[in-house]
A and B are shown apart, each in its own frame.
Chain A
Amino acid sequence: MATGASRHDLARFGAEVFRFSPRQCDLMIVAGRVVMKMLPVLQRIWQQMHEPKWCISMGACASTGGIFDTYCVVQGIDRFMPVDMYVPGCPPRPEQLIQAIIDLQEKIQHEGTIAGSEFSLSSRQQPKRALVELPILGQAPRFDSSVRVDVHSTEREGV
């Protein structure tokens, strides 16, 4: 909710409109625990979405079940559904969700057709772009930028 509201404002990153019908969506964000009884409902929502479609598993509970390792909580929705992006955190900060959406946009730019067959090609398996540390005025950067290992963020140097 905070991600879409004015303080963090997801619209700055090209993802504005929230639709509450799966038939008008191309991205599903699963936020929170999925109970065993609701999993068929979740799968049905996913099946109602039009191609192309993506899924973000947001938070520790949706990704792994979190602390709820019990009989009724699904231990990670990726056991039963395709997931494109995982957001850690309990709960995740709005910045993390925005970063996940930016990363998903980048993933869509590089790859991503309906079947996703090129996911299996080794040439497409590129290392994930490390988070670019934003400069804070008056503070030295916490991480040494010379040891950065990724390949995509080079054009973003000097931001």
Chain B
Amino acid sequence: MAVSSVASAIQAKIPVASSDEFRGQLRVVVPAESLESALRMVKDELGFDLLVDITCVDYLHYRGARDRFGLVYLLANTSNNQRVTLRVMLNEPNLTVPTAVPLWEGANWLEREVWDMFGIQFEGHPDLRRILLPDEFDSHPLRKDYPLQGQGERHNFPVLTREEA
């Protein structure tokens, strides 16, 4: 199946915000409310059975960007070696999207990482905890408005001295 036919197959079922092709790979932007149906349709009907990655881009201060976050799903079809990139644009008050764990079990940790680093809420996720940072951490450091050197999280450990330890 050619890339253009995949694009038209998606556009026939899902309201697509935009779609383009770059070096033989398809990139589709879908609205947030149709994300779950888009993922399900791409997996069940088009055979994109492998969830390669879920990641996120913070477009704060990005030239020409109108939306804050771009949540990216990288999918692959393991039978004909095709790949597709699904992207959802999210803005600050509504950072909740439905989870993809019922479709791909591997989405569990990927969504936990996106929650950890960007603070995107995944509704229906079975175990939405931080995966990399400590549990008591209370910000999302890969957001562009988070200072590189942190907000003092690394300074509040007890100091061990020779006398006491």
Interface residues of A (CB under 8 A from B): 36-37, 39-40, 43, 46-47, 69-75, 79-82, 114-116
Contact = CB atoms under 8 A, between A and B. Distances in A.
A75 B157 CA distance: 13
13 contacts: A36-B134, A36-B153, A43-B160, A47-B160, A69-B148, A70-B148, A71-B141, A71-B151, A72-B150, A79-B155, A79-B159, A81-B160, A116-B162
A143 to B, nearest CB: 35
Interface of B: 132-134, 141, 146-151, 153-155, 157-163, 165
B158 A43 contact: yes
A101 to B, nearest CB: 19
B160 A80 contact: yes
B150 A39 contact: no
Contact of A70 (B150, B160, B163): B150
Contacts, number: 53
Nearest to A40: B157
Residue picked from B154, B158, B161, most chain A C-beta under 10 Å: B154
A39 B161 contact: no
B110 to A, nearest CB: 20
A72 B154 contact: yes
Query: Closest 6 CB pairs between A and B?
Result: A71-B150, A36-B154, A82-B162, A116-B162, A37-B134, A47-B165
Nearest to B150: A71
Contacts of A74: 154
Contacts of A43: 157-158, 160, 165
A115 B164 CA distance: 9
A69 B149 CA distance: 6
Contacts of B153: 36, 71
A82 B147 CA distance: 29
A26 to B, nearest CB: 14
Nearest to A43: B160
Contacts of A69: 148-149
B133 A39 contact: no
A115 B157 contact: no
Given A36-B153, A43-B160, A71 B134 contact: no
A71 B154 contact: yes
A115 B163 contact: yes
A113 to B, nearest CB: 10
B150 A46 contact: no
